[in-house]
Structure 1
Amino acid sequence: MSVQFQFVDRTTPMGANLVAGGATFRTWAPRARNVYLLTGDALSLSATAGWTPDPGDCLTALGDDTWAGFVAGAASGLQYMFWIDGEASQGPKRDPYARELTLAPAFPASYCILRDPAAYPWHDGAWRAPDFSKLIIYQLHVGTWWAVDPTGADVRASRGGRFLDVATRLDYLRDLGVNAIQLLPIQEFETEFSEGYNGVDYFSPEQQYQASSDADLAWYLGTVNAMLAASGAGPLALDDLRPGINQLKCLIDLAHLRGIAVIFDLVYNHAGGGFDPQSLYFFDRFTNGNQNNSLYFTDEGWAGGLVFAYWNANVRQFLIDNASAFLKEYRIDGVRYDEVRVISDNRPAGAELCQDMTGTVRFIRPSAVQIAEYWDWDRAFPVTPVPAGLGFDAALGDAFRDSVRSLLTQAAGGENAQLQLDPVAAAFGLPAGYDATWRLVQCLENHDLTYFGHDGAARVPMLADPADRQSWYARSRSRAAAALLFAAPGILALFMGQEFLEDQLWCDDEKDHPGHLIAWDGLATNSVMADHRRFMRDLIALRRGQPALSAEGVRVSRVNDYDRVIVVHRWVADGGPGQDVVAVVSFDEQPKFGYRVGLPQGGRWAELLNTDVYDGFPNPTPIGNGGAVDASGPPLDGFPQSAAMTIPPNGALFLRAEST
């Protein structure tokens, strides 16, 4: 295919894009002497020693360090590469903006694929994302979370999970009650297994997460179409799922139809790899003495890769374009930005990138939540509006998670161990510089805290009882910790398996480190895990059904290390009486009878949830209050009334006034 120069100028989109009559191709290569577009036979010949491109395939320089061309008749599915005749090297390079890469040849020898981003037939026109303050996020890793064959056999150890595996498991998440999933990074990475934080092809979904055979696709299609029919939506055809990018879009489409938002984990602090000569690392290299000669990166290392060259406006635009593409083409509902401190510390350009990024994303989709991972001393900086701050909506928190995890470690010492509840109580307050409590993302587990090989990694039941992770002590303390989480203000986040008391660390590499896949079979064979999942499902429903639990009103009305009790009051500002919720949480190994707790108003208070009910569900003799307590006692804890109540050991009660 010969390259023409009509229909291209400095407004032509970067990468490969279908237009009337063909496609445009544009790339940034400021150091190149010439840039060629390779298609057809030239792709395989380019690996031949001494081979050079046809002059008719040369793109034109637009005078702004970019090169572009038009190819008449180009259609979706065309395979292509750029050939860079550069200052430091010559050879084929993958398009940094490539939407998809070939499965054959396989990565890293893949070619780029021209795709129509509007080809997927979406069904989610009525979808509206949840309010930020009401988000309950479920974090999962596509490759290890779920994968079965047509017979229902678990195949994660042999091939790993795919986008369509996650899609077919969405009804499980809907039943659990979460309203958002956060996928660990899904861009193409270089290694066989990965958490995803070493991505190299930023616009291309990971190949291992795609199905390719017609037999596999036909099986998935049947399940997908049944799910669509259950939502009153029309079916897909097999061709709709053949492009790998459409399989990810199908996952998002089905999630929306089930009331579940999808958040991507995007890594803009560094890129992984460096050993693939066709990758971004080696794109248009230049000669620069002994220093790093990469176009897109600095010499600064981070997490096994290199930090992006934020000082360069083209690099910043590349990253902004990447987030924009996921919003527009994949309809994602938010971004979790990895290690923002690494970006913003490269000031002023790194901070400028964050500010421009958050502003652009908010302009494209105001309903898309933007969450920063930021661990520097000035914790409010990422959520402070521009220009004083970076403009993110929320940031990950560690005070609550660390204090509760520490509390579990203390409680594991037994009934005579000294507990420190004050750090937990302090973590319920509004952090310095924050204007709203919902801007903090709260969790007890995440991919880092539970990853095999990380120093100190532990799942909640491992902390609760290291000697027996499914003992009564482990079960009851884990429920009490979960009650604290769901009583806390902020956006809540769970990690895969947390909902059914998974007690094994996870790992993305099942081949070299077997035995670290979350144990789905436990839900069918282990009553402890099944009971905990029921508890978590009801706890999630409680959080979503009680406006006070996601509102701004929060006060720890009692914290008593000796009694091992913490009491949390949640309310809706100007919500009127009757909406307040009080959570009473005890880490005492003995029940408390006639224990008096202050309450905001007199009268009968319903026992909305009692954690002891879920021990051997249904517990025939739960320790509690028979469904309600009476607030007719004297003032206490800063409230006008109080009630004597029974608190289960290592347990929690959620109470709400029955009437005004």
Structure 2
Amino acid sequence: MTCVRVWAPEVRRVELECAGKRRPMAREADGWWSVAAPELVHGTDYAFRVDEEGPFPDPRSPWQPHGVHGPSRWVDHGRFRWHDAGWQAPPLASAVIYELHVGTFTPDGTFEAVIDRLDHLKDLGITHVELMPVAEFPGERGWGYDGVDLFAPHHAYGGPEGLKRLVDACHRKGLAVLLDVVYNHLGPSGNYLGRFGPYFTDAYRTPWGDAVNLDQAHSDTVRRFFLDNALMWLEDYHFDGLRIDAVHAIVDISAIHFLEALAREVRALEARLGRHLVVIAESDLNDPRVVRAPEIGGHGLDAQWNEDFHHALHAVLTGERDGYYADFGAVADLAAALTRGLVYDGRYSTYRRRSHGRPAADLPARRFVGCLQNHDQVGNRALGERSAQLLSAGLLRVGAALVLTAPFVPLLFQGEEWGADTPFLYFTNHDDPDLAQAVREGRRREFAAFGWDPEGIPDPQAPETFERSRLDWDQPTDEPYAGLLRWYRELIALRRAHPAFAEDRLERVRVRFDESERWLMMRRGALAVACNLGTSPRRLDCPAGCHPRILLASDPGVAVTCETIDLPAETVAILDLVPNTAACGGEAT
């Protein structure tokens, strides 16, 4: 018999509404209410009434087939037949991650439709597929960062069954799956948690309003809510890891920070399941304690997104200096990221007008995820331009090479591999007209401050804003897209094959550069990556004592001898540095 429980510590009465009946629930200890409900079986709709108000969805609803305002639907996770027994995800140190948004990745925008494109990802050389948030959010379309039913896969994508089929299919193809989850805030529309209990606190403020209550009165149960959510995705949906959104906005002054508690419980689940699991953070703090071991005062997560590497690479390649890019732009910044992990590791930030970060050069580079673009860096632009719209064909290949030869774990954003020119815009589908207008006006104000014409900012609520963001799968077979796709495949294959990539100690990375001539050479063991970022050809000196051999070059005009490397404008060459034990003469190929 099904026993239904819900936490509501400060209310007088809770009722279960199911099958046309309202049944009073009994108060238990610690603010919980329960009732036996034999009629509640897999596929049955139900809701709660709280102090005669409602009905409201279950705070832990496993399925919201009618959206955020409708009733919940009961799910028996044991009914699904998995085919991934014995599956193990590849180590994060050997990963190539591919971030995708389910709604725009395919024309259909569903979990099922993603399955049809997995062979493309496998052929590309991807090891880990990272889904942007899929927890139930308002409307039919959105980024997912305003989710409100955190235990329920979005109905428009295919619900619980569709998500399980996608994860199962990924594992059968040899692809690990990561999920982006949001624990720093919930969306405003459809967020009924406050009707049940003190899930939020006004002790702190975040960019989205009151903070999640992780350290005030009743916070033990709130923490348990989010911890159980994380474990559910890993156990019931077989995900191989989580990416935690904006951990700098998770406010918790407890002796054991929420992130440390999360890492501890994931490690325990990993031991119980016998399956490798990872937790990756997005952090704006440049604080290596996020990934340091708890035994030395860290939170114990496996890796964090390296915003400094992205910003340094983007600013060098594009020349942009707006907003936080004002802190970057020098080739020296890119060299610092490659050799120290972080650029701002205690250094003064002009953008922040204060010192920022702390040193992280002693960390292995696998603790950082590096990229040329991701959903934030594309979608938070006014017009959603990708790197392919901001860079020349040559610099686009240079950027790809630096991401895929850097010591960090590389991440690609959907369509990047063929230089997709469809934008990735910010889109929403709020049914509350006041909220929709507030989002629309807020977006215009944000970009007007950067000098954009407010009337030229795409309306997030307009269906065409969403439709324009869908990938065009006819592109990869045509030039110039097909040529860039080949370049990405070659880079990923080289990353997998060359032994230099197994070494991720930052002190072993050597970088030479010239700021005025805009070239950079990165040395990783017996491998060198020579980049000409400028618009004129450059001749670089070869590392001494070796016979260079070109492994990959973005331009057929690259030529090397034992003494020099000739690079046409905006090109990159990846060289195998064979020890020079014999006389060397002529040109190396």
1:307 matched to 2:211? The reply is: yes
2:35 to 69, 91, 94: 69
How far 1:550 moved relative to its partner? 4.4
How far 1:65 moved relative to its partner? 1.3
Distance 1:547 1:83, change over 3 A: farther
1:101 to 23, 39, 64: 64
Confirm or deny: 8 A CA contact 1:26 1:67 kept in the other structure. Answer: yes
Query: Which entry has the higher C-alpha Rg, 1 or 2?
Result: 1
Which residues of 2 match residues 14-33 of structure 1 at below 5 A?
A: 22-33=1-12
How far 1:654 moved relative to its partner? 1.3
Name the counterpart of 2:587.
Answer: none
Confirm or deny: 8 A CA contact 1:383 1:391 kept in the other structure. Answer: yes
Name the counterpart of 2:432.
Answer: none
Name the counterpart of 1:637.
Answer: none
Which residues of 2 match residues 488-503 of structure 1 at below 5 A?
A: 488-503=406-421
2:244 to 337, 341, 347: 337
Confirm or deny: 8 A CA contact 2:199 2:212 kept in the other structure. Answer: yes
Confirm or deny: 8 A CA contact 1:606 1:656 kept in the other structure. Answer: yes
Name the one with the larger helix percent.
Answer: 2
Deviations 1:264-285 (A, max 9, x none): 11100011124x4xx433432x
Deviations 1:575-608 (A, max 9, x none): xxxxx21111112334446x43105x534x4321
Name the counterpart of 1:17.
Answer: none
In terms of mean alpha carbon deviation, does 430-439 or 260-269 score higher? 430-439
Name the counterpart of 2:330.
Answer: 420
1:566 matched to 2:469? The reply is: no
1:645 matched to 2:565? The reply is: yes
Which residues of 2 match residues 364-379 of structure 1 at below 5 A?
A: 364-365=269-270, 367-376=276-285, 379=287
Confirm or deny: 8 A CA contact 1:190 1:273 kept in the other structure. Answer: no
Deviations 1:398-454 (A, max 9, x none): 222111111112499xxxxxx832111111123414521111111111111111x63
1:543 to 491, 495, 510: 495
Name the counterpart of 1:602.
Answer: 546
Q: Secondary structure at the match of 1:481?
A: helix
Deviations 1:210-230 (A, max 9, x none): 1xxxxxxxxxxxxxxxxxxxx
2:288 to 380, 395, 408: 380
How far 1:523 moved relative to its partner? 2.1
Q: Secondary structure at the match of 1:606?
A: strand
In terms of mean alpha carbon deviation, does 546-555 or 263-272 score higher? 546-555
Name the counterpart of 1:267.
Answer: 182
Confirm or deny: 8 A CA contact 1:23 1:74 kept in the other structure. Answer: yes
2:390 to 460, 463, 470: 463
Deviations 1:483-504 (A, max 9, x none): 1112211111111111111244
1:611 to 538, 548, 554: 554
How far 1:568 moved relative to its partner? 1.0
Which residues of 2 match residues 77-96 of structure 1 at below 5 A?
A: 77-85=43-51, 90-96=53-59
2:398 to 475, 480, 485: 480
Q: Secondary structure at the match of 2:378?
A: coil
Query: What amino acid sits opposite 1:249 in the alignment?
Result: K
Please give the alpha-carbon distance, in whole angstroms, between the structure 2 residues aligned to 1:303 and 1:411.
Answer: 25
Which residues of 2 match residues 123-134 of structure 1 at below 5 A?
A: 123-134=83-94
Please give the alpha-carbon distance, in whole angstroms, between the structure 2 residues aligned to 1:30 and 1:645.
Answer: 70
1:437 matched to 2:372? The reply is: no
1:587 matched to 2:533? The reply is: yes
Name the counterpart of 1:280.
Answer: 192
Which residues of 2 match residues 83-482 of structure 1 at below 5 A?
A: 83-85=49-51, 90-102=53-65, 106-148=66-108, 161-210=109-158, 244-274=159-189, 276=190, 279-284=191-196, 295-299=198-202, 300=204, 302-304=206-208, 306-311=210-215, 312-343=219-250, 345-348=251-254, 352-365=257-270, 367-376=276-285, 379-386=287-294, 388-410=297-319, 420-431=330-341, 432-433=359-360, 434-451=362-379, 454=381, 458-464=385-391, 474-482=392-400
Query: What amino acid sits opposite 2:569 in the alignment?
Result: P
How far 1:458 moved relative to its partner? 4.2
Deviations 1:138-181 (A, max 9, x none): 11111111125xxxxxxxxxxxx011111121111111111111
Name the counterpart of 1:528.
Answer: 480
How far 1:128 moved relative to its partner? 1.3
Please give the alpha-carbon distance, in whole angstroms, between the structure 1 residues aligned to 2:407 and 2:88.
Answer: 23
Query: What amino acid sits opposite 1:586 in the alignment?
Result: N
Confirm or deny: 8 A CA contact 1:591 1:623 kept in the other structure. Answer: no
Please give the alpha-carbon distance, in whole angstroms, between the structure 1 residues aligned to 2:390 and 2:88.
Answer: 38
Query: What amino acid sits opposite 1:559 in the alignment?
Result: F
Please give the alpha-carbon distance, in whole angstroms, between the structure 2 residues aligned to 1:655 and 1:355.
Answer: 41
Please give the alpha-carbon distance, in whole angstroms, between the structure 1 residues aligned to 2:170 and 2:136.
Answer: 22
Please give the alpha-carbon distance, in whole angstroms, between the structure 1 residues aligned to 2:369 and 2:553.
Answer: 25
Query: What amino acid sits opposite 1:436 in the alignment?
Result: P
Confirm or deny: 8 A CA contact 1:559 1:566 kept in the other structure. Answer: yes
Name the counterpart of 1:222.
Answer: none
How far 1:657 moved relative to its partner? 4.3
How far 1:648 moved relative to its partner? 3.5
Confirm or deny: 8 A CA contact 1:108 1:190 kept in the other structure. Answer: yes
Name the counterpart of 2:437.
Answer: none
Please give the alpha-carbon distance, in whole angstroms, between the structure 1 residues aligned to 2:102 and 2:320.
Answer: 34
TM normalised by structure 1 equals: 0.73
Confirm or deny: 8 A CA contact 1:630 1:644 kept in the other structure. Answer: yes
Query: What amino acid sits opposite 2:417 in the alignment?
Result: E
Confirm or deny: 8 A CA contact 1:272 1:305 kept in the other structure. Answer: no
Distance 1:411 1:306, change over 3 A: closer
How far 1:301 moved relative to its partner? 5.1
Query: What amino acid sits opposite 1:448 in the alignment?
Result: D
Confirm or deny: 8 A CA contact 2:383 2:423 kept in the other structure. Answer: no
How far 1:298 moved relative to its partner? 1.9
Confirm or deny: 8 A CA contact 1:557 1:569 kept in the other structure. Answer: yes
Query: Once superposed, which parts of structure 1, at least 4 consecutive aligned residues long, lie more than 6 Å away?
Result: none
Distance 1:481 1:108, change over 3 A: closer
Please give the alpha-carbon distance, in whole angstroms, between the structure 1 residues aligned to 2:213 and 2:378.
Answer: 32
Deviations 1:454-482 (A, max 9, x none): 35964223332xxxxxxxxx101110111
Query: What amino acid sits opposite 1:280 in the alignment?
Result: Y
Please give the alpha-carbon distance, in whole angstroms, between the structure 2 residues aligned to 1:248 and 1:70.
Answer: 29
In terms of mean alpha carbon deviation, does 560-569 or 504-513 score higher? 504-513
Q: Secondary structure at the match of 1:549?
A: helix
2:557 to 623, 626, 632: 623
How far 1:518 moved relative to its partner? 3.0
Confirm or deny: 8 A CA contact 2:532 2:569 kept in the other structure. Answer: yes
Distance 1:511 1:68, change over 3 A: same
Deviations 1:300-345 (A, max 9, x none): 55454542111211000000000000111011111111111111x4
Please give the alpha-carbon distance, in whole angstroms, between the structure 2 residues aligned to 1:114 and 1:137.
Answer: 33
Q: Secondary structure at the match of 1:262?
A: strand
Counting matched residue pairs gives 509
Q: Secondary structure at the match of 2:301?
A: coil
Query: What amino acid sits opposite 2:488 in the alignment?
Result: M
Query: What amino acid sits opposite 1:281 in the alignment?
Result: L
Structure 1, unaligned stretches of length 5 or more?
A: 1-21, 43-52, 149-160, 211-243, 285-293, 413-418, 465-473, 572-579, 613-621, 632-642
Please give the alpha-carbon distance, in whole angstroms, between the structure 2 residues aligned to 1:508 and 1:517.
Answer: 12
TM normalised by structure 2 equals: 0.81
Query: What amino acid sits opposite 2:261 in the alignment?
Result: D
How far 1:34 moved relative to its partner? 2.6
Query: What amino acid sits opposite 1:166 in the alignment?
Result: V
How far 1:35 moved relative to its partner? 2.1
Please give the alpha-carbon distance, in whole angstroms, between the structure 2 residues aligned to 1:101 and 1:282.
Answer: 18
How far 1:397 moved relative to its partner? 1.0
Please give the alpha-carbon distance, in whole angstroms, between the structure 2 residues aligned to 1:38 and 1:386.
Answer: 44
